[in-house]
Chains A and B, each alone.
Chain A
Amino acid sequence: MPFSLRERKNVVVLAGLVFFNLLLISIQVPLGSEHTLFKKIIFSVFSPIQRVVVSAGAAVSGTWSGFFRLRGVRVENQKLKKNIFFLRQENMLLLDRLKFLQGDKMIQDNLAAIRKTVLSARVIGVDASNYYKSIVINRGGVDGVKANMAVCDKHGNLVGRVIEPVALKEAKVQLITDEDAGVSVISGTDKVVGVLSGDSRGNCRIKYVVTTSPGGQEGEDLFTTGYDKLFPPGIRVGKITLINIDGSFFKTILVRPFFNYGDLDQVAVLKEHFEDLF
């Protein structure tokens, strides 16, 4: 049966769109991690909608906890007060120790500088294809966010880094649990250095530690080294859960990241490296 004019038009539109998508894929693949302008435009247009939707949801749940869940809010308030008390004690002890190294004014100036470098952000979206790869936060170029800034969770554990595209008020963050992530890490006890990347299933592994390299124990904590010039040194990353030597050139070292994906509501963007301050 010959195609009618309408059917022919539909097939032409289909062929055109299929070709367009194949062209996009062909352009994208050689660019590697770079994003096309088209992708950046779509992200910039739709990410504010995501922010509005999530904010509306947060406002509704805030109203619920503010008016109905008062008992729970009271318990949480007591816990936070207790935490603040202990944090203040720790802060005083650390300031006291710092005075041996620096004068009061320098300490205060440096602490003020640190406060300016930390930007609080909220997670407003997750990766549509695999939620262990990236998240979207509600801070962007207008807030001073740029690509390659480190991002930590509310406990100071490393979460990932800001990547392109960065919109005016939103930005994408590549998580350390992404297969394509890379963080230079060092173990706390044996000082084993390697590159940490994710498995896109919520865990990480350290690569490029040769089997003949000494040291490295299960249960050791990992910290950033700063060698990659992306992440400031000394940030907590994860804990080694398994070390396996299976005949290959490198050890298999599995790591459980410290950040809890289920608890990832608020994050901190480190706008500058502050390790030179102290």
Chain B
Amino acid sequence: MKEILKTAAATLAAFVLYSLLGRVDPSLLLILNTFSLVVIFFSMLKGELFGVVLGALCGLLQDSFSMGVFGVAGLSKTLLGFTAGYVSRRMNVVPFFRNFIFIFILATGELAVWAFLYALVFSKRLITGNALLFFQPLATAVLGSVIFTLARRLKAPQS
């Protein structure tokens, strides 16, 4: 029950951040996918099972507020959540630089899967927003590694 509540709270946090960013400047949503950030962060903390469920929820939520096909982002984030949780349990990705590279690879992979599914379903060219979309993995990696490092440092004195 506690894990379900944590999943719901994490999903809500991603959604609130997405709503705020969208109102500040819509192009920020191309540069930073808040749902991906939350999925990666909590998957690394809680493991692949938590990550895969959170990924599915966040992906479907992202799809429901877009005009895309329902399930495209759901699928890409499901895979993202599982991969993030699975690999982080088996490799040491805690050091900042390694964390950055890990998140960058994950975000690039997720974007590639999403772009592939988008092209497959719509048979159209991907809209990159003047190439802003390609900065998404970098922005996610920078923010994700900073947040993860801060979270670890905040947790360290308590433990």
Q: Which residues of A contact B (CB under 8 A)?
A: 9-10, 13-14, 17-18, 20-25, 28-29, 35-36, 38-39, 42-43, 46-47, 49-50, 53-54, 57, 123-134, 136, 172, 174, 178-180, 200-201, 261
Instruction: Encode contact with A along B116-142: 1 for CB under 8 Å, 0 otherwise.
Output: 011001001001010000000000000
Q: A36 and B127: CB pair below 8 A?
A: no
Instruction: Encode contact with A along B13-36: 1 for CB under 8 Å, 0 otherwise.
Output: 001101110110011011000010
| Interface stretch (choices B58-66, B93-101, B102-110, B145-153) | B58-66
Q: A136 and B71: CB pair below 8 A?
A: no
Nearest A-chain residue to B34, judged by Cβ: A128
Q: A200 and B26: CB pair below 8 A?
A: no
Q: A17 and B78: CB pair below 8 A?
A: yes
Kindly provide the distance from the CB of A54 to the nearest chain B CB, expressed in whole angstroms.
5
Kindly provide the distance from the CB of A252 to the nearest chain B CB, expressed in whole angstroms.
17
Can you list 29 pairs linking A and B with CB atoms under 8 Å apart? A10-B49, A10-B52, A17-B55, A21-B56, A21-B71, A21-B75, A21-B78, A23-B71, A25-B71, A28-B69, A29-B69, A42-B60, A42-B61, A46-B15, A49-B12, A53-B19, A125-B23, A128-B22, A128-B35, A128-B62, A128-B65, A129-B66, A129-B68, A130-B67, A130-B129, A132-B127, A133-B67, A180-B67, A200-B127
Q: B75 and A133: CB pair below 8 A?
A: no
Q: Which residues of B contact A (CB under 8 A)?
A: 12, 15-16, 18-20, 22-23, 26-27, 29-30, 35, 48-49, 52-53, 55-56, 59-75, 78-79, 82, 86, 117-118, 121, 124, 127, 129
Q: B49 and A13: CB pair below 8 A?
A: yes
Task: Specify which of B22, B67, B117 is in contact with A174 (CB 8 Å cutoff).
Answer: B67
Kindly provide the distance from the CB of B40 to the nearest chain A CB, expressed in whole angstroms.
16
The tally of CB-CB contacts under 8 A between chains A and B is: 134
What is the predominant secondary structure among interface residues of chain B facing chain A? helix
Residues of B within 8 A of A124 (CB): 19, 23
Q: A54 and B75: CB pair below 8 A?
A: no
Kindly provide the distance from the CB of B98 to the nearest chain A CB, expressed in whole angstroms.
23
Task: Specify which of A28, A125, A130, A261 is in contact with B19 (CB 8 Å cutoff).
Answer: A125
- Bound-state CA distance A124–B22 (Å) is 9
Q: A57 and B23: CB pair below 8 A?
A: yes
Kindly provide the distance from the CB of A265 to the nearest chain B CB, expressed in whole angstroms.
9
Residues of B within 8 A of A22 (CB): 71, 75
Q: B66 and A28: CB pair below 8 A?
A: no
Q: A39 and B64: CB pair below 8 A?
A: yes
Q: B127 and A18: CB pair below 8 A?
A: no
Known contacts being A10-B52, A130-B127, is A39 close to B70, with CB within 8 Å? yes
Residues of B within 8 A of A174 (CB): 67
Residues of A within 8 A of B62 (CB): 128-129
Known contacts being A128-B29, A201-B127, is A28 close to B70, with CB within 8 Å? yes
Task: Specify which of A10, A46, A57 is in contact with B82 (CB 8 Å cutoff).
Answer: A10
Residues of A within 8 A of B117 (CB): 25
Residues of B within 8 A of A36 (CB): 70
- Bound-state CA distance A136–B66 (Å) is 10
Can you add 6 more A-B contacts, CB < 8 Å, to A49-B16, A127-B67?
A18-B75, A23-B71, A25-B70, A54-B23, A128-B66, A130-B67
